[in-house]
Structures are given as structure tokens and as C-alpha cells.
């Protein structure tokens, strides 16, 4: 899957050029520009960063330092769905760690990583700001609130129930 | 939309908007803030829309999709105007009955009313619900009255009248004096007097000057900035334009957290509308004054909530704080004089200009004026956003507004100020909430987070949780923060495993002091607060972990064991099936048992057992 994406990307670096043109004359183009590339490809492809580096005359290492400092950037391809587990204080005192444990076990994936089938990237987030619903998980733009470990199988559509 | 070229044209437009409105016409105000949307408010809204269309009664009933009303626990919420009937937990299937009975026949549906958990009484009117009637909703109250994407709604409520007043009737100096006299202090954390900050930028040489609205609301458990931006973005824009008029700034930035897509969307729409009307952009209201606002999406770094780090981030750099020998008001963004204020601070400005400094300073305590919006969350019945006058006691907040602790549990502490704040114990509940009193108690106002903790919350675990958070979010710039927090966390982990000693506890306190004293930015200096305040008020819990190897609240996994009561277990097999560690064995219809070596103390068995057969000790 990852190779497929890289392949299709090679054909479409035009998009990166368009994004570069959009921000070229800004006072501080790099972060918004990289955010847009990250939105477009769901990560920051190396080729794209090289393109930016050349076009805007900024060293690749500077772009790399931004890419690794800010959590919104990813240097590896993301899964089809973004699954964010809220670990904010309100969710924490209502049992969020159990929710995270159950999800990582079910999907067999560590936080920050993508499942082998490329379906989910699991992230922890320090607050989604919907504290009344805690513990809370967000899959793409859909919220799943008042969770208990018991509700996780259903939330994941039963596709990832561990083999017993 | 026609551009407004003078203050008089603005008032004319407002009049025409008001004339076209029928105040007595039934209106369904549907809360579509993030909390209610997550519980299904958008489905409720579409159901109303479809039904009203189907019946052909569009002309008789208005609907408003508003921002957050604050009472998230009871969502999806709707308020039926003009009577202000509040319905809670509304589902799409309720919509038909609401239209037929309440809107067309004025019958109240008892089952959708709020039930007071103390008295059992059902309350019909929004203003009579205790959660609302103890509030003073100055900056937040309009959320339920307007559609954030309609500037006309804001104008109808008197929006941009303060801007008009400032431009037409006041000099920049007079506006500045008014803000100074109001006693308004920054609502983002440190509580610096806003007027003094503005004055220092006003006096600083250099052009252009910049404004920043800090909406990188990173404290876990806080969502009031988001709710203002989502629900009433024009109030923030108006505040910023007035600030820009004072220091003659041509450009402002709103630095918004990327996790808040709806806030970004509504703010962008609001900026565009304000520009179309000539309230923002070139020659505002036909004057010589021009000001523009840009939005910067945050990069997901907590430290960027710190003022100098957010400035670095807007400049396109890694978001590391800088030292503050020179203040941002002299050399801030692009090394130019800059005012940086929090969302709530900006939203207070139009109110101060409209009603005057004297009115504003009559609210609150001696040194903390006005109101504060708190996110009341955690183990509390009424989770949500409350706006209250400064000086209200914690007890009133938790019990009168928050409705107390759920399930009859005992309150243990209230955590305020996020990762920079501390835990205030139950015995100090009579503490009036203002900047000084919270700091004296070892906590702080911060951005207004208020997390209620009950007897099942372990204070060692809470302190460890915040250290994990700050360790993860430390930008790594200062050695004392980067390494100090890591060492502190190691000790906390030992404590929570029952493997520490009293000497280590002393070392923890000492390390905390070093981090406080030797870290550059405000976040680093305050991040030991959760540890220091829990040691100060809950030392007995630390001692129980260290000396007795016990977690009194039953949270720290290494110190608790789960067992199955053979007499109560009927062998239904649910726990065996659900145990993620495969640590439960037993034949069907025979009592089961937990294999302690395999058990990870996750507690799932306790939660799924319907026969109370699982014990935690």
C-alpha cells in the first residue's frame, strides 16, 4: 500500500508545485505550506520536501526540524482512518487509559503507528475539547463518546476483534 | 452585501436588520457546538429542517444552528424561543412531537425537560435551571442567540457598536485608558493586566505593530476558547479591531489549535463577512484606519500556547520560547511591538467599550475584575462551560452549578490551571476563585480548566499524568525542564509502583523547586505545580504508596489486585471472553478465577461483571 502511494505521488508532484506557488511570497511560508502538503498526501513525502527545499532555497534540515517538532506533521504514510484517543485530564480521570489499552490490543498497534493493513493510524491527543463525553475517541471526524472498553469492539466495526 | 462607509451607515444597517426580524416568531435554537454535535445535534437539526419543510411552515418557524450553550452534559440541547424552553438530550425521533405539541400548541414535553438531580424537579425554562441561573454570561451568553456564520445576527445583538463608538467618539488614548481602568487581566494564564500590556505597546517605538489572538488552547480539559471562536467569532474580531485602533496596528493573527476545525471554519467565515461589510480591511467604516486579520493553524505543540513560542511559530520557526528580557510589546512578532492576548481577553474588549470601565470593574473581586469562563469537567454531574463573576467559591461552582459529584461519591479535589496548576483539596472549597487566591493555594487561574476529582481519583496518578504530559510537550530547550521533568517522572513512577522511599520523595520536592527556578518559560516554571500541590495537600497518599505499598483510591495498577468471589460468580464467562490478557480461567457455569501472573489489572473484568463478583483491592 505504501509503495502504491509513493507511485501515485511521483505522478503528482505538480500539486506540491502549486502549493509552493501559493505560499512563495508569504513572510513565513514554511509551516502553512507543509501543513497543506501534509493534508494533501496525509504525510510529508521526502520528494515533496526536497522540492520545497530547492524551490524556496531553504535547507532540508530546517524543514526536517519543523517536521519533527510539530505533531501535525508525519514523515511516514498515514492509515486510511485517523483514530485519536483523547487522553485529556477529564478523560483520564474517567478511564481513558483502559480505552487506549483496549484499542492498541485490538488493532495490534502502538500509538503513533499505523496498522499493518493500513486501515488505522492510532494517535493519542491531549484533549479533544468535548470533555462532557469522556472517555472519547475520534475516528476521522466522527466522535465516539462515553466509551467503556466493552464498547470498543463495536466502535471498530468488529473487524478487529482479537482471535480467541 | 454592501460595504459600510460610515458609522451612520452601520447603524442604519442595524436598524434594517432589526426591522426585518420578528421577535415573537417561534425559533428553535439548536446547539451545534462540538459537544452537542458529537452527541448527534446535527441529525436533530436536519430532522427539524426536513419536518418544517414537509409541513410547509418555514414562514412560521425559524431555526438557528448556534455555537455551544455550555451545558454539554445534557446535549443535544435545544431552546425554544421566545419562551426559552430548554429541552435536553433531544433525539431526531423527538422532533415531530416538539413541533406539533410545543411549537404549535404550546404544550411542554415533560420527558425532555431538565431534571434537577437534587430535588427531582423538572425545570422548563433555561434561565431557571441552576446550571444557568447562577452564571453571569457576559462574553458567552450570546452563543445561544446567534448563528456564528451570520454577521447579521451579531449586528442585531448590538455587534460592532463598540467599534463604532471607539472610532467615532474616542481617541486611541481614551480607549486605552478605558481598558486600563476596567482592571481586565489576561485570561490565558498569567493574568497580566491587559491595559498595561497595551500601554507598553502603545508607547513602544516601531512600525508596524502587530496583534495576536492566542487560541492555541492546549490545556487538557479546556474548551472555552474553542466555544467562543465557534459560537461568537465576531466578538473576538471586534475586540481585536478595537485593540488595533489603539496601537495603530495594520495586521493581526489568530493562532488557532489545529484540533479545532470548526473554530477555524467559523472564524474564517466571520473574517470574510466583516471584510465584505467594511468592518475589517481597508478604511474601516470609512475612516483612515485599516486592519486585517490572518489565521494561523497551530502545529500541535502545547508549548506554542506560550506567548513567545507562538510568536516563533507564526514566524515559521520551531516553537521554542525565547527569554523575556525584552517584552513582546516592544519586540515581538518580526521583532516589532506586539500585543498578544487570549481569545477570552479579546472577547471582553467590546463589552468594556460598550458599557464602560466602571461597570466592568464593579464585577469581581478587588484585583480580579469581570467574569471568567471555566470548563467544569471530570467527576461532576453537569459537565460544561460556565461563566461566573470572579470571586465565586469553588463550592458554588462544583455544587450549585456543577450539581455535585456523580454516584454519591465523595469529592476529593478540584484541579485548576491545567498542567501549570495544582490540585485544591476539598477542605479549601470555600476558596473564592480569583487570580491571587488560586496562586496562594498553590494552583493558578490558567486558561480556566476546572477538573473535579472524587474519591476514586488517585492524586499520585494525577501528578504522574501531568508530568507525562509536560515531559511529552517540553520543547527541550532548557536542560532543567527537559531532564528535570524526566527525573521527576521516574520518581513518580516508582512511587506509583510502591518502589520508592521517603528520601526519594524529598528529592522529588527538591527537583520540582529546581525546575521552577531555572527554566526559562512560564510553562516550564509552572509544570512542577501539580506535583508540589499534591505533595502539599495529599502527602498521606504518597506515604500510603511508599510505606504501605497501597493505592488508597485503587488506581495505580501495580498496587491493586483483582480477584473473583467464588460465591457470587455463576460462571457466565463474560469476563473470560473480555479479558484482554487472557488471565481468567474457568469452566462454563463454574466459578472463574484470575491468574495473577497474567493479570495486567486493567479492570475490564470488574466493569463487565453483572454479578458484582469481581473484587478490587
- Closest C-alpha among B537, B532, B534, B541 to residue B511: B532
Helix (H) or strand (E) holding B284: none
Whether A57 is in a domain gets the answer yes
Give the 3-state DSSP-derived string for chain A, with helices as H, strands as E and coil as C: CHHHHHHHHHHCCHHHHHHHHHHCCCCCCHHHHHHHHHHHHCCCCHHHHHHHHHHHCCCHHHHHHHHHHCCCCCCCCCCCEEEEEECCHHHHHCCHHHHHHHHHHHHCCCCCCECCCCCEEEEEECCCCCHHHCCCEEECCEEECCCCHHHHHHHCCCCCCCCC
Residue B567: how many CB atoms within 10 A of its CB? 8
Q: Are residues A49 and A86 in the same domain?
A: no
Residue A136: how many CB atoms within 10 A of its CB? 28
Minimum-distance CB partner of B313 among A31, A73, A94: A31
- Rounded to whole angstroms, the Cα distance separating A116 from A134 reads 28
Whether A161 is in a domain gets the answer no
Interface contact A94, partner B, CB < 8 A: yes
B424, β-bridge pairs:
B414
pLDDT-derived band at A1, boundaries 50, 70, 90: very low
Residue A10 confidence (pLDDT)? 57
Q: What is the grid cell recorded at B21?
A: 426580524
Q: Are residues A133 and A107 in the same domain?
A: yes
Chain B contact set for A148 (CB, 8 A): 607
Q: Are residues A56 and A99 in the same domain?
A: no
Alpha carbon separation from B510 to B421, B466, B535 (Å, rounded): 18, 18, 12
Positive or negative, the CA dihedral A138, B215, B350, B184 is positive
Q: What angle do CA B218, B478, B497 make, to 5 degrees?
A: 70
Whether A22 is in a domain gets the answer yes
Q: DSSP letters along B214-234, please?
A: EE---STT--HHHHHHHH-HH
- Rounded to whole angstroms, the Cα distance separating B534 from B97 reads 51
C-alpha dihedral (B390, B396, B402, B403), degrees to nearest 10: -160
Chain B contact set for A69 (CB, 8 A): 299, 301, 318-319, 475
C-alpha dihedral (B361, B365, B370, B371), degrees to nearest 10: -170
The mean pLDDT of chain B is 94
Per-position b or e across B492-521, b if 16+ CB within 10 A of its CB: bbbbbebebeeeebeebeebbeebbeebbb
Q: Are residues A59 and A108 in the same domain?
A: no
pLDDT digits (tens, 9 = 90+) for A16-65: 999 999 999 999 999 999 999 999 998 999 999 999 999 999 999 999 99
Q: What angle do CA B258, B261, B267 make, to 5 degrees?
A: 105
C-alpha dihedral (B362, B367, B371, B377), degrees to nearest 10: -150
Chain A contact set for B295 (CB, 8 A): none
- By CB atoms closer than 10 A (0-12, 13-18, 19+), residue B372 is buried
Residue A146: how many CB atoms within 10 A of its CB? 13
pTM summary value: 0.93
Residue A135 confidence (pLDDT)? 93
Residue A3 has pLDDT above 70, yes or no: no
Question: What is the CATH T-level fold of the domain B371-457, as seen in this structure?
Answer: Ubiquitin-like (UB roll) (3.10.20)
Chain A contact set for B578 (CB, 8 A): 149-150
Residues of chain B short of pLDDT 70, as ranges, are 1
In chain B, where does the domain assigned CATH 3.40.30.10 lie? 23-133
Residue A60: how many CB atoms within 10 A of its CB? 14
Minimum-distance CB partner of A93 among B73, B453, B578: B453
pLDDT digits (tens, 9 = 90+) for A63-109: 999 999 999 999 999 999 999 999 988 888 888 988 999 899 899 99
Chain A contact set for B453 (CB, 8 A): 93
CA B180 to chain A, closest CA, distance in angstroms equals 32
Interface contact B258, partner A, CB < 8 A: yes
Q: Do A149 and B607 touch (CB under 8 A)?
A: yes
Cβ–Cβ < 8 Å for B136, B371: yes
Q: Do A71 and B73 touch (CB under 8 A)?
A: no
In chain B, where does the domain assigned CATH 3.40.50.11540 lie? 151-360
Give the 3-state DSSP-derived string for A142-158, with helices as H, strands as E and coil as C: EEECCCCHHHHHHHCCC
Interface of B with A in 322-341 (CB under 8 A): 334
Give the 3-state DSSP-derived string for B415-455, with helices as H, strands as E and coil as C: EECHHHCEEEEHHHCCCECCHHHHHHCCCCCCCCEEEEEEC
- Closest C-alpha among B537, B309, B143, B460 to residue A69: B309
* Residue in chain A nearest B470 by alpha carbon: A126
- Rounded to whole angstroms, the Cα distance separating B426 from B411 reads 6
Residue A162 confidence (pLDDT)? 41
- Counting the structural domains of chain A, the total is 2
pLDDT-derived band at A122, boundaries 50, 70, 90: very high
Cβ–Cβ < 8 Å for B153, B147: yes
DSSP B397: I
- Rounded to whole angstroms, the Cα distance separating A112 from B368 reads 42
Say yes or no: domain B561-616 is CATH 3.30.70.20. yes
Q: Are residues A97 and A65 in the same domain?
A: no
pLDDT-derived band at A159, boundaries 50, 70, 90: very low
- Closest C-alpha among B553, B446, B428 to residue B496: B553
Chain B contact set for A127 (CB, 8 A): 218-223, 259
Residue A34 confidence (pLDDT)? 97
Mutate one of A33, A63, A68, A126 to test the B interface: name it (highest B CB count within 10 A).
Answer: A126
Residues 6+ apart with CB under 8 A from A112: A122, A123, A124
Q: Are residues A65 and A90 in the same domain?
A: no
- Class of the B151-360 domain? alpha beta
Radius of gyration of chain A (CA): 18
CA B416 to chain A, closest CA, distance in angstroms equals 11
pLDDT digits (tens, 9 = 90+) for B182-203: 999 999 888 999 999 999 999 9
CA B166 to chain A, closest CA, distance in angstroms equals 31
Which of residues A69, A96, A114 is at a domain's end?
A: A69
Give the count of Cβ contacts less than 8 A between chain A and B.
146
Residue A136 has pLDDT above 80, yes or no: yes
Q: Are residues A65 and A86 in the same domain?
A: no
Task: Give the residue numbers spanning the domain of A104.
Answer: 81-155
- Rounded to whole angstroms, the Cα distance separating B270 from B491 reads 49
Whether A74 is in a domain gets the answer no
pLDDT digits (tens, 9 = 90+) for B7-66: 999 999 999 999 998 888 899 999 999 889 888 999 999 999 999 999 998 888 999 999
Where does B354-506 show beta strands of DSSP type E?
371-378, 384-389, 411-416, 422-425, 449-454
- Closest C-alpha among B257, B266, B267, B262 to residue B217: B257
Instruction: Tell which phi-psi region holds residue B300, choosing left (phi > 0), alpha (psi between -120 and 50) or beta.
Output: left
Interface contact B260, partner A, CB < 8 A: yes
Residues 6+ apart with CB under 8 A from A72: A35, A38, B258, B297, B298, B299, B300
Interface contact A41, partner B, CB < 8 A: no
Which of residues A30, A45, A69 is at a domain's end?
A: A69
Residue B303: how many CB atoms within 10 A of its CB? 27
**To which residue does cell 449586528 refer?**
B155
Residue A11 confidence (pLDDT)? 53
Q: Tell me the residue length of chain B.
A: 617
Strand B371-378, strand B338-342: pairing? unpaired
Interface of A with B in 17-36 (CB under 8 A): 27-32, 35
Q: Are residues A90 and A147 in the same domain?
A: yes
**To which residue does cell 465523595 refer?**
B410
Q: Tell me the residue length of chain A.
A: 164
Interface of B with A in 276-315 (CB under 8 A): 296-302, 313-315
- For helices B194-203 and B233-247, give the axis angle rounded to 10 degrees: 40
Q: Are residues A60 and A97 in the same domain?
A: no
CA A13 to chain B, closest CA, distance in angstroms equals 23
- Rounded to whole angstroms, the Cα distance separating A95 from A107 reads 19
Q: Are residues A51 and A88 in the same domain?
A: no
CATH number at residue A88: 3.40.30.10
Residue A164 confidence (pLDDT)? 33
Chain A contact set for B72 (CB, 8 A): 130-133
* Residue in chain A nearest B261 by alpha carbon: A141
B338, β-bridge pairs:
B210
Q: Are residues A86 and A151 in the same domain?
A: yes
pLDDT-derived band at A158, boundaries 50, 70, 90: low
Say yes or no: domain B460-546 is CATH 1.20.1440.230. yes
Q: Are residues A58 and A95 in the same domain?
A: no
Mutate one of B300, B321, B386, B419 to test the A interface: name it (highest A CB count within 10 A).
Answer: B300
Interface contact A72, partner B, CB < 8 A: yes
Whether A29 is in a domain gets the answer yes
Interface contact A58, partner B, CB < 8 A: no
Residue A163 has pLDDT above 60, yes or no: no
- Class of the B23-133 domain? alpha beta
Q: What is the grid cell recorded at B127?
A: 434561565
Amino acid at each position: 500500500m505504501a509503495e502504491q502511494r509513493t507511485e501515485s505521488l511521483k505522478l503528482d508532484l505538480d500539486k506540491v508545485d502549486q502549493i509552493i506557488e501559493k505560499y512563495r511570497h508569504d513572510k513565513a511560508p514554511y509551516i502553512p505550506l507543509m501543513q497543506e502538503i501534509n493534508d494533501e498526501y496525509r504525510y510529508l513525502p521526502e520528494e515533496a520536501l526536497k522540492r520545497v527545499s530547492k524551490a524556496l532555497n531553504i535547507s532540508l534540515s530546517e524543514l526536517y526540524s519543523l517536521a519533527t517538532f510539530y505533531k501535525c506533521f508525519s514523515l511516514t504514510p498515514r492509515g486510511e482512518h485517523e483514530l485519536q484517543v483523547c487522553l485529556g485530564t477529564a478523560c483520564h480521570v474517567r478511564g481513558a487509559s483502559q480505552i487506549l489499552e483496549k484499542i492498541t490490543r485490538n488493532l495490534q498497534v502502538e500509538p503513533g503507528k499505523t496498522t499493518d493493513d493500513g486501515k488505522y493510524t492510532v494517535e493519542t491527543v491531549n484533549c479533544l475539547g468535548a470533555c462532557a463525553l469522556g472517555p472519547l475517541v475520534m475516528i476521522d471526524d466522527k466522535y465516539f463518546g462515553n466509551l467503556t472498553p466493552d464498547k470498543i469492539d463495536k466502535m471498530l466495526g468488529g473487524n478487529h476483534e482479537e482471535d480467541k | 452585501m454592501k460595504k459600510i462607509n460610515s458609522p451612520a451607515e452601520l447603524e442604519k444597517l442595524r436598524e434594517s436588520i432589526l426591522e426585518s426580524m420578528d421577535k415573537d416568531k417561534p425559533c428553535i435554537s439548536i446547539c451545534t457546538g462540538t459537544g452537542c454535535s458529537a452527541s448527534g445535534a446535527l441529525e436533530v437539526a436536519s430532522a427539524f429542517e426536513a419536518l418544517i419543510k414537509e409541513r410547509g411552515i418555514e414562514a412560521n418557524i425559524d431555526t438557528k444552528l448556534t455555537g455551544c450553550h455550555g451545558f454539554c452534559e445534557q446535549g443535544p440541547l435545544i431552546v425554544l424561543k421566545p419562551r426559552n424552553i430548554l429541552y435536553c438530550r433531544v433525539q431526531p425521533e423527538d422532533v415531530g412531537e416538539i413541533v406539533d405539541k410545543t411549537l404549535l400548541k404550546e404544550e411542554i414535553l415533560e420527558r425532555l425537560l431538565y431534571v434537577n438531580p437534587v430535588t427531582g424537579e423538572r425545570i422548563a425554562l433555561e434561565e431557571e435551571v441552576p446550571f444557568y441561573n447562577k452564571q453571569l454570561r457576559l462574553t458567552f451568553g450570546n452563543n445561544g442567540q446567534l448563528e456564528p456564520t451570520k454577521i447579521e445576527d451579531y449586528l442585531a445583538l448590538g455587534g460592532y457598536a463598540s467599534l463604532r463608538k471607539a472610532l467615532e467618539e474616542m481617541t486611541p488614548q481614551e480607549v486605552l485608558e478605558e481598558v486600563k481602568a476596567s482592571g481586565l487581566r489576561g485570561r490565558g494564564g498569567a493574568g497580566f493586566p491587559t491595559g498595561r500590556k497595551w500601554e507598553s505597546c502603545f508607547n513602544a517605538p516601531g512600525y508596524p505593530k502587530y496583534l495576536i489572538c492566542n487560541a492555541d488552547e492546549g490545556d487538557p480539559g479546556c474548551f472555552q476558547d474553542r466555544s467562543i471562536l465557534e459560537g461568537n467569532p465576531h466578538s473576538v474580531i471586534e475586540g481585536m479591531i478595537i485593540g488595533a485602533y489603539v496601537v495603530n496596528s495594520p495586521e493581526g493573527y489568530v493562532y488557532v489549535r489545529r484540533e479545532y476545525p470548526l473554530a477555524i471554519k467559523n472564524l474564517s467565515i466571520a473574517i470574510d463577512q466583516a471584510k465584505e461589510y467594511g468592518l475589517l480591511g481597508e478604511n474601516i467604516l470609512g475612516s483612515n484606519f485599516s486592519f486585517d486579520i490572518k489565521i494561523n493553524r497551530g502545529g500541535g505543540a502545547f508549548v506554542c500556547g506560550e506567548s513567545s513560542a507562538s510568536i516563533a511559530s507564526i514566524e515559521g520557526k520551531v516553537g521554542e520560547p525565547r527569554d523575556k528580557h525584552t517584552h513582546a510589546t516592544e519586540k515581538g512578532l518580526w521583532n516589532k511591538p506586539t500585543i498578544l492576548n487570549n481569545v477570552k481577553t479579546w472577547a471582553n474588549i467590546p463589552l468594556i467599550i460598550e458599557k464602560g470601565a466602571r461597570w466592568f470593574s464593579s464585577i469581581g473581586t478587588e484585583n480580579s475584575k469581570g467574569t471568567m469562563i471555566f470548563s467544569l469537567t471530570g467527576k461532576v454531574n453537569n459537565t460544561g462551560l460556565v461563566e461566573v463573576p470572579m470571586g465565586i467559591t469553588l463550592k458554588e461552582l462544583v455544587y450549585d452549578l456543577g450539581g455535585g459529584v456523580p454516584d454519591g461519591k465523595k469529592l476529593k479535589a478540584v484541579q485548576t490551571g491545567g498542567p501549570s496548576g495544582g490540585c485544591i483539596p476539598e477542605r479549601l472549597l470555600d476558596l473564592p476563585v480569583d487570580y491571587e487566591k488560586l496562586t496562594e493555594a498553590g494552583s493558578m487561574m490558567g486558561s480556566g480548566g476546572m477538573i473535579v476529582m472524587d474519591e476514586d481519583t488517585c492524586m499520585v496518578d494525577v501528578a504522574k499524568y501531568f508530568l507525562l504530559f509536560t515531559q511529552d510537550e517540553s520543547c527541550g530547550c532548557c536542560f532543567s525542564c527537559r531532564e528535570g521533568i524526566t527525573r521527576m517522572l521516574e520518581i513518580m513512577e516508582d512511587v506509583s509502583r510502591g518502589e520508592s522511599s521517603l528520601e526519594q520523595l524529598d528529592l522529588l520536592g527538591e527537583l520540582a523547586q529546581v525546575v521552577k527556578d531555572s527554566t526559562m518559560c512560564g510553562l516550564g516554571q509552572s509544570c512542577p505545580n501539580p506535583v508540589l500541590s499534591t505533595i502539599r495537600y495529599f502527602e498521606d497518599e504518597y506515604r500510603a504508596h511508599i510505606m504501605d505499598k497501597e493505592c488508597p483510591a485503587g488506581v495505580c495498577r501495580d498496587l491493586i489486585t483483582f480477584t473473583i468471589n467464588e460465591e457470587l460468580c455463576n460462571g457466565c464467562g463474560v469476563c473470560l471472553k473480555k479479558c484482554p490478557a487472557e488471565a481468567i480461567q474457568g469452566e462454563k457455569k463454574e466459578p472463574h478465577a484470575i491468574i495473577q501472573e497474567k493479570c495486567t489489572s486493567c479492570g475490564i473484568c470488574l466493569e463487565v461483571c453483572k454479578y458484582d463478583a469481581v473484587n478490587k483491592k
